[in-house]
A and B are shown apart, each in its own frame.
Chain A
Amino acid sequence: MRLINQSRYLYAFILILFTVSYVLLKPKPKLNYLFIKGASKGLFNHNSKQDTYNINPPNNRVSVGESFFIKDNENWYQIIQLSFWRKEHLNLNFLNRHLNISDIKVKSVSTNDYALGRFKGEEIAYSCMKNSNNFNYGISSERVVDSLDINHWKKVYLDNLNLVFYSFKPRNYECYVVLTTNINFFEDSDYTINQKIFNKFIYE
């Protein structure tokens, strides 16, 4: 009987400890150290603390890391480091809202995709790049599925069940959003993309 009474205090202590530690720590996707040679830090060359383009993550599915700005003779390249809880959560809609990007059109290049849009009067192309041949605008497609496509829904059902029971620690998916006025950037060869962006990366 004494053991039962003691265990109740322990139960309450564990619950309170969990709540407090959760509120204080708020787990988020992890970000690796990144530095880009020859780039200036910040968004669109704005280094002031009162940056109008301050990007806050909408929820704990995504973490926003460092931002770098590169300018060559013709175009500018804005690179924003993002880390998602898992690859399935990759979606750049929140960035569209933060940066007020309008007239968005999604284009596909083999298995990858990128978006074209209008930002402060300029036409830009952007996508989240893992490397030069792996980039996506958003994994979750906007396609409306037929309600009687039973196989699709069966897959959704099983995937969801799987995620409930087997998604313990997050499998972070880190990628780098590249926004650029070079609208053909994502159509370029791997070599050109590496030359312009990825060869300048220094990771830790």
Chain B
Amino acid sequence: MRIFVQEFIFNPLKFLLILVIFLNIYLLYAFDASTFDQILNLIISFGIFTSHSDSDYKDPKNLNIIQISSSFLILLSLLYRSFWLHTGDNFLYILLPVLYLTLVMLYFSFENVFKNYKPLVISLLLPMTKVLFIPLSIIFSPLSSFFTWLLLNAFGFESVLKGQEVLYNNTGINVTFSCSGSGQILFCLSAMIIFNYCFPLRSIRLLILQLVIASLLTFFANIIRLFLLALFVNTANSDGFSIFDYLHGGNGGLIFGFLSMALSCESFKRIYYSRAMPNEIN
């Protein structure tokens, strides 16, 4: 308890950081952000707090009135805009990075803030996933349709591929952007980048390898989901329990998200230990 009091109550910066993090978590919840976004936001909040605590911030020396007033000016503009937030407003996603920036601007010089860039980079991951979603989906949507069609035929379920539609048994599925798996891939990649800040892999080459493995695992987990959706498409909108509706809705989709995440974490762990151990022994 004493450690908690010393760490958070007598450390105003950490107290304010927790306040900022909680405000952001509340707003994402209040505005019905998707479950994926809310979970990613929790991982990002953890990443920011951990990397901020590990950062080598020096005592404020070059702080001046201009920097402090800029921080307040940005904060007030941000909160003024936030007063008009509504469900589906993408402004929600840039709240955390800007709030974090205003907070550290209040304590440290710009030089110091940019030297300790990691928490800031982590806070930018959520808006980056939103920016990358459409370009990535343009690539993954046709790929997902093709591999779903391939898997169906490989298992003897004769199907036809027509653009992004996979037709099977007089019905079919349309692989839209939200079904393409790009959202899950971005989720997984963001988590891997945060892991790398918390438990750094030895080289950038290993990080890229891990990112490729995580993308492939997530992509193929989504293909299995699409395969099942195509098989059970006739149960859509039926009375009672429907496998299609379950897997298509948020909760069923989450199972595959967690599956790919668990596999990616296992892969991260293996790469982390396989490369770290020999060095530790030497």
Contacts and interface: CB of A to CB of B under 8 A. Distances in A.
Interface of A: 1, 3-4, 7-8, 10-12, 14-16, 18-19, 22, 27, 59-61, 85, 89, 144, 146-148, 150, 153, 156-157, 160, 163-164, 167-170
B176 A170 contact: no
B134 A156 contact: yes
A14 B138 contact: no
A1 B61 CA distance: 9
Contacts of B1: none
**Prevailing SS type, chain A contact patch:** helix
A14 B79 contact: yes
Given A4-B107, A85-B86, A167-B84, A157 B134 contact: yes
B12 to A, nearest CB: 5
Given A59-B86, A146-B164, 15 more contacts: A1-B60, A4-B106, A8-B107, A11-B72, A15-B16, A19-B23, A22-B83, A60-B86, A61-B86, A144-B176, A147-B141, A147-B175, A148-B142, A164-B89, A164-B91
B151 interface: no
A153 B65 contact: no
A7 B142 contact: no
Q: How large is the interface on B (under 10, 10 to 19, 20 to 34, 35 or more residues)?
A: 35 or more
Contacts of A15: 16, 19-20, 23
Given A59-B32, A146-B163, A164-B90, A7 B106 contact: yes
B84 A168 contact: yes
Contacts of A19: 23, 26
Given A4-B63, A8-B12, A59-B87, A147 B75 contact: no
A132 B15 CA distance: 56
B163 to A, nearest CB: 6
B43 to A, nearest CB: 23
A147 B72 contact: no
B156 interface: no
Contacts of A60: 86-87
B174 interface: yes
Contacts of B72: 7, 10-11, 14
Interface of B: 12-13, 15-16, 19-20, 23, 26, 31-32, 60, 63, 65, 68, 71-72, 75-76, 79-84, 86-91, 94, 102-103, 106-107, 134, 137-138, 141-142, 163-164, 174-177, 180
Contacts of A22: 82-83
Q: Which 4 A-B pairs have the closest CB atoms?
A: A147-B141, A59-B87, A18-B79, A164-B90
Nearest to A16: B19
A167 B26 contact: no
Contacts of B91: 164, 167
Contacts of A61: 86-88
10 contacts: A7-B71, A12-B12, A14-B76, A15-B23, A18-B23, A18-B79, A59-B32, A89-B88, A144-B174, A164-B90
B138 A11 contact: no
Given A19-B23, A147-B180, A167 B89 contact: yes
Contacts of A160: 90
A12 B12 CA distance: 9
B81 A168 contact: yes
B274 to A, nearest CB: 38
